[in-house]
Amino acid sequence: MTLLKEPDFGTPERPGPATVSVEVDGMPVTVPEGTSVMRAAALAGIDIPKLCATDSLEPFGSCRLCVVEIDGRRGTPASCTTPVAAGMSVRTQTPKVEKLRQGVMELYISDHPLDCLTCPANGDCELQDMAGVVGLRQVRYGYEGENHLDAEKDTSNPYFDFDASKCIACSRCVRACGEVQGTFALTIEGRGFDSKVSAGAGETFMESECVSCGACVQACPTSTLQEKSVVELGMPTRSVITTCAYCGVGCSFKAELRGDELVRMVPHKDGGANEGHSCVKGRFAFGYASHPDRMLKPMVREKITDPWREVEWDEAIGTVARRMRELQQQYGSGAIGAITSSRCTNEEVYVVQKMVRAAFGNNNVDTCARVCHSPTGYGLKQTFGESAGTQDFRSVAEADVIMVIGANPTDGHPVFASRMKRRLREGAKLIVVDPRRIDLVRSPHVQAEHHLQLRPSTNVAVVNAMAHVVVTEGLVDRAFVDERCEDFDGWEEFIARPENSPEATEELTGVPAEELRAAARLYAQAPNGAIYYGLGVTEHSQGSTMVMGMANLAMACGNIGRDGVGVNPLRGQNNVQGSCDMGSFPHELPGYRHVSDDAVRTVFENLWGGTILAEPGLRIPNMFDAAIDGTFRGLFVHGEDIAQSDPNLKHVTAALEAMELVVVQDLFLNETAKFAHVFLPGASFLEKDGTFTNAERRINRVRAVMKPKTGKHEWQIVSEIATAMGHPMSYGHPSEIMDEIAQVTPTFTGVSFQLLDKLGSVQWPCNEEAPEGTPIMHVDEFVRGKGRFVVTTFVPTAERSTRRFPLILTTGRILSQYNVGAQTRRTGNVAWHPEDVLELHPHDAEVRGIVDGDMVTLASRVGETRLKAEISDRMPPGVVYTTFHHPVTGANVVTTENSDWATNCPEYKVTAVQVGLARPRRDDGAENDRGRERDELLTVVD
């Protein structure tokens, strides 16, 4: 594909039917009410010159380049700010407007460096284009007078420069930062000639509130805001549309290349999930794909203490197949298994689980979703009948009350957060349920109505108390419940019990009863109430109960089955939804069908040959336990770093050490690879062809922009291992794998690369009734028929704070880093988060003698680690918080083996810990002088 330039209609689309007919230069066009003259003209095929307008932003009317004449009206109105009126006749090219436009351009150019030929934006500059379009032939004003040509350049951001000498003060960047991103980091300072873009008084972009989403760079019509990669490598020449491989939002991007070199990632306007917006990770943090740390050759070794030996693919694949077979002969067919990856494509995940079921001959396959959203799958299936979120992202624009529970969208799901913030600025009300004061609680133009700052582990008590208010205050949507749900009466009796009241639970949860009552009323009485939640819900010993509790609450209030409502998991990794859909769990075949279902097994057995076991296989924690017991001997780990991301790392590493064969497929020699006997280098998303499924069930195409640097596709490698183990698996292209998925998975009926290429993306369920997919689920009836109320008794976690471990640790993600950081740590994003820190309330810090920046120890009953303290009142006293992006911190050294009762999802969000000032390490005594001083003092006192 050549470089894809998307059309720009100048101003945003207006909703509603096309009812207003006008003529532009004699061309008839009919558009919705409120459409600008500029957009109507563009729809009629007539581009009016413009500089301050672009269709991702509301019109501003500052440049005056878009003036037109309208019959019967005086003057020359700006077409971007003038709405159409029925019967209007517009003339876009008259001597009068042409002269005006030339005058405007002359002024701009007289204060602009004339270095077009050497400018990085040469060929992609709207100012340059407009000079041509308006027919500028002379600039009568010289450079002798005052100008901005010496204005200072800000190069502080790792990814883009700000060259103020090229700025035309059109304010597109300022508006993009506010309207699209919702950060409001930029302003126009000064007036008239002195007006200039500012990131805050005297601040550089890096010092400002800027979160490097790139929206301003995207909006800038000149080279003032310009990607550093374009400055270094030159303008790209071709585009490939693909999908971000970072988070579950699933943003579409145009990968723009020059030859074989990726120059930049530009958010795709037609992307269903992002509609032209991006965050710092997808937009800029792709450098890891060409990082020198990448491993490109397969390697093997006998023992994990041996050095690695590079081998050819045949030998590596043969070794895996032979040793896996040997382990099965020696220890039984259930002695081996695999972990699939939520970072890989659906097609890759499908072949890994197929390899396990068809070639390994067991169901010992699990996925990293086990440790994040498995309770979502369980809880939503039990109540609604389908293991997925109910809405598309667009739906949030119709919500009147948004309840965010245990999620931090501005950091974890930034592009969706921008959509949400836009709706909040329009007037929707916000309830945040979280122990931590996340940014959404108070950010520019957004203020939560209620922040229920509950104690970690008390989610279920809070959601039950909210439902108690709904039931006892007569706020139940009886018509919805009667018609659409079942098992309500038993649940109603349970939830109305006094022990579930806000007053009874106040002491336990820490949430004032009156505040909780007010929040419950707000949600229940809203015309449309929507719930969005994250790992702060699922990663608990009662994760599944909480998911069902939210589903109960939504059903009781009738908040299911239309735009603006729903229960929506915000998925962590790019393809968590997909990896679950593809049959990665040990008890489910693709499409969430239980392995004990004879009819379902028969479908797969007929297609694959052989017999599929009717018994579920081992879950990840069971694999570890069995490894330590000596019954599980071989593991294929596909694209996950379990030795960093799983809880209770001592236990995990002991299990890995105990195994006779660990095979790791990854981009880098990660922590898990330290325990591996075979390393198979993986391909980055830029080298992959396939699909990812995002949090809204949207199946997005991933398209290769280059060949795999390793020489082999991951689906090929897995197929060849299965073949070498005696189960022939052969595909010519990943589209054939998708064809097979569609053949055996009812929710994917009709999905093919062809369909996806035609429609852009499809939200499953896709079937004969919905051949183009299903944006909103459970519209007329629930997938399981009736929505089912489930009694959600609150059972406190076994993890308690004690005298020895008096604080509760909870964990999360920050914007610039991703998961265990394997990718983002190898990009410029380290500029924002060079290490994990421990957030600690000032009170907890003071009583421990800790000040900001001290190295501290963080200890739980299972392990201890050290990291820097950051004093912050975002957490309530008694609760500390950290991220786990850096292996050196090993935050999961301290997390315990507690897990969700239904799914074994680890309880990452609740660990009893103690924090203390760190003593200096023996080998690094200078690390914490305050610790050493205190030690010396204590020695003297002793």
Binding site for ligand FES (CB under 6 A): 50-53, 61-66, 78, 80
Shortest reach from residue 39's CB to ligand FES, in Å: 11
Under rule CB under 6 A, residue 183 binds ligand SF4? yes
Q: Which amino acid is at 227?
A: E
Q: CB nearer to ligand SF4: give 165 or 723.
A: 165
CA quadruple 43, 49, 53, 54: dihedral positive or negative? positive
Nearest 5°: phi and psi at 668? -125, 160
> Which among ligand SF4, ligand FES, none contacts residue 216 (Cβ within 5 to 8 A by kind)?
ligand SF4
- Which listed residue (35, 56, 62, 181) binds ligand SF4 by CB under 6 A? 181
Under rule CB under 6 A, residue 274 binds ligand SF4? yes
Shortest reach from residue 199's CB to ligand SF4, in Å: 6
CB-based closest residue to ligand SF4: 282
Strand stretches in 260-361, DSSP E:
261-267, 299-300, 309-310, 336-340
Q: What is the largest CA-CA distance in the chain?
A: 95
* Residues 229-258 close enough to bind ligand SF4 by CB under 6 A: 244, 246-247, 249-251
Question: Quick one: which segment of 106-114, 217-225, 775-783, 873-881 binds ligand SF4 (CB under 6 A)?
Answer: 217-225
- Strands 401-405, 69-70: pairing kind: unpaired
Question: Quick one: which segment of 60-68, 222-230, 389-397, 531-539 binds ligand SF4 (CB under 6 A)?
Answer: 222-230
Q: CB nearer to ligand SF4: give 385 or 414.
A: 414
Shortest reach from residue 131's CB to ligand SF4, in Å: 14
Number of Cβ atoms within 10 Å of the Cβ of 3:
16
Under rule CB under 6 A, residue 578 binds ligand SF4? no
CA quadruple 121, 126, 130, 131: dihedral positive or negative? negative
- Which listed residue (158, 214, 334, 502) binds ligand SF4 by CB under 6 A? 214
Closest listed residue to residue 899, CA positions, set 186, 374, 195, 361: 374
Q: Which two tokens stand for residue 25?
A: 């230069």
Contacts of 681 (CB under 8 A, 6+ apart): 294, 295, 296, 297, 298, 665, 666, 667, 710
Peptide bond into 765 cis (omega under 30): yes
Shortest reach from residue 305's CB to ligand SF4, in Å: 38
Q: Which two tokens stand for residue 843?
A: 């009170």
Q: CB nearer to ligand FES: give 97 or 551.
A: 97
Shortest reach from residue 213's CB to ligand SF4, in Å: 4
* DSSP secondary structure, 749-778, as one string: TT--HHHHHHHSEEESPBSSS-TT--SS-S
Helix (H) / strand (E) element for 549: namely helix 543-556
Q: CB nearer to ligand SF4: give 128 or 509.
A: 128
Q: CB nearer to ligand FES: give 225 or 516.
A: 225
Q: CB nearer to ligand FES: give 66 or 469.
A: 66
> Which among ligand SF4, ligand FES, none contacts residue 183 (Cβ within 5 to 8 A by kind)?
ligand SF4
> Which among ligand FES, ligand SF4, none contacts residue 250 (Cβ within 5 to 8 A by kind)?
ligand SF4
Residue 563 to residue 321: CA distance in whole angstroms = 50
Number of Cβ atoms within 10 Å of the Cβ of 567:
30
Under rule CB under 6 A, residue 454 binds ligand SF4? no
Residue with tokens 């043969």: 318
Shortest reach from residue 419's CB to ligand SF4, in Å: 10
> Which among ligand SF4, ligand FES, none contacts residue 212 (Cβ within 5 to 8 A by kind)?
ligand SF4
- Which listed residue (97, 197, 469, 576) binds ligand SF4 by CB under 6 A? 197
Q: CB nearer to ligand FES: give 77 or 916.
A: 77
> Which among ligand SF4, ligand FES, none contacts residue 62 (Cβ within 5 to 8 A by kind)?
ligand FES
What are the residues facing 661 on neighbouring strands? 634
Q: CB nearer to ligand SF4: give 168 or 516.
A: 168
Residue 286 to residue 685: CA distance in whole angstroms = 10
What are the residues facing 748 on neighbouring strands? 766
Helix segments in 163-308, DSSP class H:
172-175, 215-219, 228-233, 280-284
Q: CB nearer to ligand SF4: give 173 or 686.
A: 173
Q: Is 610 left (phi over 0), alpha (psi -120 to 50) or beta?
A: left
Q: Which residues make up the interface to ligand SF4 (CB under 6 A)?
A: 167-173, 176-177, 181, 183, 185-186, 197, 210-216, 219-222, 224-225, 244, 246-247, 249-251, 274, 278-279, 281-282, 413-415
